[in-house]
Amino acid sequence: MATKNEVKEYLAYWFQLGKRVIAVNGKVSFLPQPVIQGDRYSQEFEECWLKILSPATGDCYLDGTQETINELLTPAWEMLPCGRCSMPVPLKNVGMPALLCPCSNLPGWPNTEIPAPRSPVCSQEQLTSICASFGEKSADAK
């Protein structure tokens, strides 16, 4: 089952590549920029996420897909890496998988020459983790 955080991360990754979320029968689209600000998602992204989840917005789906965001939040779906580009894609637990990865209509993707989309990273936690691993290695050397 895809968790709310996994679906949120899925959208954040695709937003970083310029994919939009379509709503209101194609009349409205969302593409918050920036998606990440420092060690967290941007305010624009968080506001967009709340609009996408709002029942008032209606059905929303990532451009190039057929599954609604509300469908992805049911136990029938999980998020796994695309076999072509390693980006997160929805996969139905039972039955047929999604027909296409959202990368299918992105020209020039996958592109290993540029940084891949990512989740927010807390720099302090990363540095602490790196320091701790050096401490373990020096203790092993004694």
* Residue listed under structure tokens 């998988």: 97
Rounded Cα–Cα distance for residues 52 and 58 (Å): 8
Q: pLDDT per residue over 89-131, tens digit each?
A: 898 887 665 666 777 777 777 787 877 787 787 777 777 877 8
114 Cβ contact partners less than 8 Å away, ≥ 6 residues apart = none
d(CA 103, CA 105): 6
- At 55 the pLDDT is 93
* pLDDT above 80: residue 36: yes
Please tell me the distance from the alpha carbon of residue 23 to that of residue 70, in angstroms, as a whole number: 12
Summarize pLDDT for 20-31 with one digit per residue, the tens.
999 988 889 999
Distance, CA of 127 to CA of 110 (rounded, Å): 29
- Give the distance, in angstroms, between the CA of residue 61 and the centroid of all CA atoms in the same chain: 13
pLDDT at position 26: 84
Which amino acid appears at position 26 of this protein? Answer: G
Q: How far apart are CA 11 and CA 23, in angstroms?
A: 14
Cα atoms in the Cβ-side hemisphere of radius 13 Å centred on 80: 11
Please tell me the pTM assigned to this model: 0.73
What was the pLDDT predicted at 100? 67
Are the beta carbons of 77 and 93 closer than 8 angstroms? yes
Mean pLDDT of the chain: 85
Pure H helices in 62-122: 69-72
